[in-house]
Amino acid sequence: YWRELPCQARPPELLTNQLQVGVPMTPSLGSINLLVWLTELREIVNVYQFVVMFTDDLGHISQWSSIMAGSLAGMVSTIVTYPTDLIKTRLIVQNMLEPSYRGLLHAFSTIYQQEGFLALYRGVSLTVVGALPFSAGSLLVHMNLEKIWNGPRDQFSLPQNFANVCLAAAVTQTLSFPFETVKRKMQAQSPYLPHSGGVDVHFSGAVDCFRQIVKAQGILGLWNGLTANLLKIAPYFGIMFSTFEFCKRICLYQNGYILSPLSYKLTPGVDQSLQPQELRELKKFFKTRKLKSKKPTL
């Protein structure tokens, strides 16, 4: 017997994992929320260092280079934090009436002792391979944004940017979701758990997992849980990047590069290649010079 939440009450993250793995689940909310927060950091950890690698001497970066930098940063940070993602899956899918793990640290210790260190990275190759369709989807959406809105990117409004990010997230997640499904099943399966972790198909590796899913559920079985995942991912990235975009505009406005934080209309007469400190010093110089010119002369 499994103690379950009604489908309507389950958070999208939990419902997605349930549909991907194929077992009923009960959320262990305390440690799972912490693990979700930790694993989501993989999208932003060390991004700056990778962006610097692809910038030119003036600090400019092309869209393709930014996508590559983001993909590399995501892969590296994913590898570093991957054990927390695997533990999160194990905690979600376990039978709460007879739990195999009592919490985060106990799960880490038990998996390490019973299955070895490499078990904490089971399925990590799917994350690396899945970055390829993710990058392709990002580039595909970016190349067609001007056609969709019939205008240049630098004139997009905040609602347009929000819609752009939601669309990009939906496309990229849809393209890479089969790899995510196989990864979740590989994370959940273990010979040391009752019924091998309760996964709905049995397999010997990543390629065999693909075969068994298609054999048992058809090709669409690779996208089980996609709707619940999109309900989480699309607004999440939309809000995150829209907030980032607005904060960037505020900084540009306060430093004198644009006329308003609500648009990207450039300030006339300002050299956009100047660094913020250089621009402030230049303004200070002209202000001082103006004050001196107003002093009365004898």
pLDDT mean over 146-164: 77
Domain 7-294: CATH superfamily is: Mitochondrial carrier domain (1.50.40.10)
Query: Residue 199 burial by CB count (10 A; 0-12/13-18/19+): exposed, middle or buried?
Result: buried
Confidence of residue 294 (pLDDT cuts 50, 70, 90): low
Query: What is the reported pTM?
Result: 0.71
Query: Residue 106 burial by CB count (10 A; 0-12/13-18/19+): exposed, middle or buried?
Result: middle
d(CA 249, CA 260): 8
In the predicted structure, residue 187 carries a pLDDT above the cut 90: yes
Hey, where are the domains in the chain?
7-294
Q: Chain-centre distance of CA 218, in angstroms?
A: 28
pLDDT mean over 65-85: 77
**What is the percentage of the chain residues whose pLDDT exceeds 70?**
66
In the predicted structure, residue 179 carries a pLDDT above the cut 90: yes
Helices 63-93 + 124-149 axis angle, to 10: 130
- Residue 47: per-residue pLDDT: 54
Model pLDDT for residues 234-251, shown as the tens digit of each residue: 888 888 888 888 888 888
Question: Distances from the Cα of 99 to the Cαs of 23, 26, 87, 107, in angstroms?
Answer: 14, 11, 13, 10
Query: In this predicted structure, which of 117-121, 240-244, 275-279 has the lowest mean pLDDT?
Result: 275-279
Query: In this predicted structure, which of 59-63, 75-79, 220-224 has the lowest mean pLDDT?
Result: 59-63
Nearest to 87 by CA among 12, 41, 26, 35: 35
Place of tokens 């590796």: 205
Model pLDDT for residues 126-136, shown as the tens digit of each residue: 888 887 777 77
